[in-house]
Structure 1
Amino acid sequence: MKQARVAFEGKIQQAWEDQGRVRLADGRHVDESEVVWLPPVVPGTILALGLNYADHAAEIASQTPEEPMVFLKGANTLVGHRAFTPRPADATVMHYECELAIVIGKPARRVPKASAYDYIAGYTVANDYAVRNYLEGFYRPNFRIKSRDDCTPLGPWLVDVADIPDPMNLRLTTRVNGETTQEGNTRDMIFDVPFLIEYFSAFMTLQPGDLILTGTPKGTVDVRPGDDVVTEIEGIGALHNTIIEGAKRAGAV
């Protein structure tokens, strides 16, 4: 089952994918262009992985982490399908990151890898933009990079965990203005989905709605205002986003 959160006729409501159209909670069917797409979940804690694909680690940092490189993100970063993301006026390189996002379904504490999937509600697509010239040091993501307003599109759908029998064998693709610029597969993660559930739940209680963004493969390229970016994960969906100009006044995005 694929479900979403949308705004339609002044109301926020649940919706579902139904034969290529959007079925609203009242039973009506509309085209996806008729609704405003919201992130498919109201997030709790947002945990994100850096350098979780060996090829991307080599592309960015020339070394592979020996344990998960994790940072927190604010809920202000999330926007929905077909939304707009500003590129800061002083950005020298701003790139997309197509990522499998795990949505926690029930409280998880000290969960062994063998039971990890029992605690997952489902999966969605994240595009975790990064502004490389804001990086403070060797892959130490700071708030200016990873907690910027509207810089993490999420969606379109939350896909039930039961509908993705093997999340560790999904193709990831990014297209910029229709041209494929990134391809990868979740099987190439350094730290896989069960490992991450066990790792995080060993020292913190994961709650329903918490998100884990699992990193991106190589192939990240600079994007600029006007670019149409589509991050897609096999079986989950294609997330559309458009880059716009950030404000040029001092201190603004």
Structure 2
Amino acid sequence: MQTTRTPHQPWQPQGTVYGTLLNFRREWDLWIPRMTQDPHKAAPKEPVLYVKTANTFSPAGQDLLLQDGVTEVDIGATLGLVIGGDGQVAGAVLLNDWSVLHASYYRPPVKFRCRDGFLALPQQVTPGQVQDWATMQIAVRRNGDLVQTVDLRELMRAMPELLADVGEFMTLQPGDVLMVGTDCLADGTRPRAKAGDRVEISAPGFASVVTMVGGAA
């Protein structure tokens, strides 16, 4: 009996994807003078999380289409921790957490982060444990030029601490992904991309995330 082989499908999250804000020292330091202002009036004591909804998931090899007057987007290179069946970290993925440019990274409106295709995914998960990636550096290239290096040694909450602190107020389920955060440049902005740009997120031992940015027809 002849069987038909199903081609390998690119990885997609099987649960909820959570992002973390203000988890790199440089951005935290830049925001300190404003953390005591209204409406929050104090620095956050717990991790500040947001959800990347399923419509944002963009499988490996898929282009990002800019629409609705958006001409430029922030590049958000990050590491996502993939939760396994035992509730522990089973592996990790590089991700590009795209966002429309906006003034606040403290409580950004969902409409800036949760547009269609605004989470670029890799081909596959890299197995491992959090200690394997503690000193990892993520390279961000735009049209072949290095525009940012994200150093995971600069996390405000290292990965074990982040997982423990999140676990104090919610339970991560099998298939969930917890992104450790995105870093900013020295001036507080993030690298940006526009139609025609090719953006690559890479790190040793990981499947790269490569996206072509296109404009609306």
TM-score by length of 2: 0.81
Alignment partner of 1:81 is 2:60: yes
Alignment equivalent of 1:189, drawn from 144, 150, 155: 155
Alignment equivalent of 2:116, drawn from 141, 144, 149: 149
Aligned equivalents of 2:28 and 2:167: distance in 1?
A: 25
Aligned equivalents of 2:193 and 2:29: distance in 1?
A: 21
> Partner of 1:221 in structure 2?
191
Conserved in 2, the CA contact under 8 Å of 1:102 and 1:122? yes
Aligned equivalents of 1:10 and 1:215: distance in 2?
A: 38
Aligned equivalents of 2:78 and 2:165: distance in 1?
A: 19
Aligned pairs for 1:1-253 within 5 A:
11=6, 13=8, 38=10, 40-57=11-28, 61=31, 66=44, 67-91=46-70, 93-108=72-87, 119-133=88-102, 139-161=106-128, 165-219=131-185, 220-246=190-216
Aligned equivalents of 1:79 and 1:242: distance in 2?
A: 12
Q: Which whole-Å deviations, capped at 9, do the CAs of 1:154-194 have from their partners, x for residues lacking one?
A: 113201115x7521110111000000000121111111211
Aligned equivalents of 1:140 and 1:88: distance in 2?
A: 23
Aligned equivalents of 1:152 and 1:138: distance in 2?
A: 17
Q: Do the aligned partners of residues 139 and 132 (structure 1) sit closer, same or farther apart at CA in structure 2, a change above 3 Å counting?
A: farther
Structure number with higher relative contact order (C-alpha < 8 Å, ≥ 6 residues apart): 2
Q: Do the aligned partners of residues 165 and 195 (structure 1) sit closer, same or farther apart at CA in structure 2, a change above 3 Å counting?
A: closer
Q: Do the aligned partners of residues 83 and 138 (structure 1) sit closer, same or farther apart at CA in structure 2, a change above 3 Å counting?
A: closer
Q: Which runs of 5 or more structure 1 residues have no equivalent in the other structure? A: 1-8, 15-37, 109-118, 248-253
Aligned equivalents of 1:154 and 1:160: distance in 2?
A: 16
Cα root mean square deviation, aligned: 2.5
Aligned equivalents of 1:216 and 1:169: distance in 2?
A: 15
- Name the % identity: 25
Report the number of matched residues.
201
TM-score by length of 1: 0.71
Aligned equivalents of 2:96 and 2:194: distance in 1?
A: 15
Q: Which runs of 5 or more structure 2 residues have no equivalent in the other structure? A: 36-42
Instruction: Return the offset for 1:100.
Output: 0.5
Conserved in 2, the CA contact under 8 Å of 1:127 and 1:154? yes
For 1:155, the aligned partner's letter is P
Instruction: Return the offset for 1:203.
Output: 2.3
Instruction: Return the offset for 1:45.
Output: 1.5
Aligned equivalents of 1:100 and 1:209: distance in 2?
A: 15
Q: Do the aligned partners of residues 49 and 138 (structure 1) sit closer, same or farther apart at CA in structure 2, a change above 3 Å counting?
A: closer
Aligned equivalents of 1:156 and 1:236: distance in 2?
A: 10
Conserved in 1, the CA contact under 8 Å of 2:74 and 2:99? yes
Q: Do the aligned partners of residues 107 and 200 (structure 1) sit closer, same or farther apart at CA in structure 2, a change above 3 Å counting?
A: farther
Q: Do the aligned partners of residues 41 and 90 (structure 1) sit closer, same or farther apart at CA in structure 2, a change above 3 Å counting?
A: closer
Q: Which whole-Å deviations, capped at 9, do the CAs of 1:69-101 have from their partners, x for residues lacking one?
A: 211111111112221112234336411111010
